């Protein structure tokens, strides 16, 4: 399966690929949180859904549940499945900022392996404490774009000024020709998940049911679909 990010893609974020049939009405893809699944590679092998899969195996140091041991190898194995149209690799892994040069080499090999199997590469950066200054947001998106097909940035907004900086950085990056996916987490930034596509964000994430949110401030899938379509 393939995914084009020329237009907005709404991904149903889940650790259970069995939710895919319910997600089809509203989603364009499924983000499979491998780090939250018991046997993720077995689940991918058994997957026969209609929606393309974004495989994410989020490291514990970036807010996920996966240990470093075997994490990137599992993501490489995931990319070999025809249903996996994109993989998510952390910017901090690719640059070595998280765990050093060995991790950077393994992350680069994961991105290359994914592309060899026809999958796009989403390079992500998260800040669960704050929203950095505008210049720092721009630089993060630029660095992520250097390594990936889509630069994903999720930060934490404590007020509307933080949210506004995210939207401004999104607009500027998109105007410069970058393919980006942006959002501000937390109550003060939840509206950016619906508004950011207007400014050029190409991916949104939402759980099928609100009680299974995978990040702070997520709308449920049906709500986000309705909001994005209405604003678009």
Give catalytic residue positions: 126, 152
| 179 annotated to a ligand binding site | no
Q: Is 31 annotated as a binding residue?
A: yes
CA distance 139 to 151: 11
C-alpha triplet 1, 226, 161: angle, nearest 5°: 100
Residue 76 assigned as binding residue: no
Please tell me whether 39 is known to bind a ligand: no
Q: What is the 3-state secondary structure (H, E, C) of 103-162?
A: HHHHHHHHHHHHHHCCCEEEEEEECCCCCCCHHHHHHHHHHHHHHCCEEEEEEECCCHHH
Residue 170 makes CB contacts below 8 A (sequence gap 6+) with 180, 182, 196, 199, 200, 201
Is 128 annotated as a binding-site member? no
Binding site listing: 31-33, 58, 193, 214, 218
Binding site listing for 3-dehydroquinate: 31-33, 58, 193, 214, 218
């Amino acid at each position: 399966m393939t995914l084009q990010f020329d237009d907005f893609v709404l991904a149903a974020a889940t650790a259970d690929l069995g939710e895919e049939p319910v997600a089809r009405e509203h989603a364009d893809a499924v983000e499979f949180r491998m780090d939250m699944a018991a046997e993720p590679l077995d689940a991918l092998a058994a997957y026969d859904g209609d929606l393309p899969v974004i495989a994410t195996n989020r490291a514990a140091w970036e807010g996920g549940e996966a240990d470093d041991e075997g994490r990137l190898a599992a993501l490489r194995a995931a990319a070999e499945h025809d249903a996996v149209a994109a993989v998510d690799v952390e910017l901090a892994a690719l640059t070595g900022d998280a765990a050093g040069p060995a991790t950077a080499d393994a992350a680069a090999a994961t991105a290359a392996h994914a592309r060899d199997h026809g999958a796009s590469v989403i390079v992500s950066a998260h800040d669960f404490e704050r929203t950095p200054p505008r210049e720092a947001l721009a630089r993060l998106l630029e660095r992520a774009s250097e390594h990936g097909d889509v630069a994903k940035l999720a930060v934490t907004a404590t007020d509307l000024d933080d949210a506004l900086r995210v939207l401004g950085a999104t607009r500027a990056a998109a105007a410069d020709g970058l393919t980006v996916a942006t959002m501000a987490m937390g109550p003060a930034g939840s509206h950016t998940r619906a508004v950011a596509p207007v400014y050029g964000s190409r991916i949104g994430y939402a759980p099928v049911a609100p009680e299974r949110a995978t990040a702070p401030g997520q709308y449920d899938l049906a709500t986000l679909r309705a909001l994005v379509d209405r604003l678009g």
